[in-house]
Amino acid sequence: MQSRFRLPIVLIALAVGPAQAQALAGTTDGADLAAACTGCHGPGGHSAGAVPDIAGMPVAEFERRMAAFRDGEGTIMNRLAPAYDAAATAALARYFADRPEPASP
């Protein structure tokens, strides 16, 4: 990803992600929750840039990564992950695990 796009993407993620997560507090609908992920991870978890794809990620791996982010690992997700409780994280994990993995280049 070109460096001129990084800062705007980071700022949008920091502003929109937590706001959407708060608006959806209490929901366990993975598709609704995943809307907050689209800005960075792309539709259905397929990223077009430097942000990792999360489509097709196994449930246990998704949950492990979110727990690590909540513990402070990372640069962006460690700020976003605390907005998701265990039920929301599990719903997101199931949603993205059910999405098809990105095609190999």
CB neighbours (10 Å) of residue 86?
Answer: 10
> Tens-digit pLDDT profile for the chain (105 aa)?
445 555 555 555 555 555 555 545 567 789 999 999 999 999 999 988 889 999 999 999 999 999 999 999 888 999 999 999 999 999 999 999 999 887 766
Four-way CATH pick for 3-97: 1.10.3450.40, 1.10.760.10, 1.20.120.140, 3.30.70.270: 1.10.760.10
First to last CA, the chain: 17
DSSP state of 103: P
User: Where along the chain do its domains lie?
Assistant: 3-97
Tokens of 50: 């430097």
DSSP state of 50: S
- Max Cα–Cα distance, the chain, nearest Å: 38
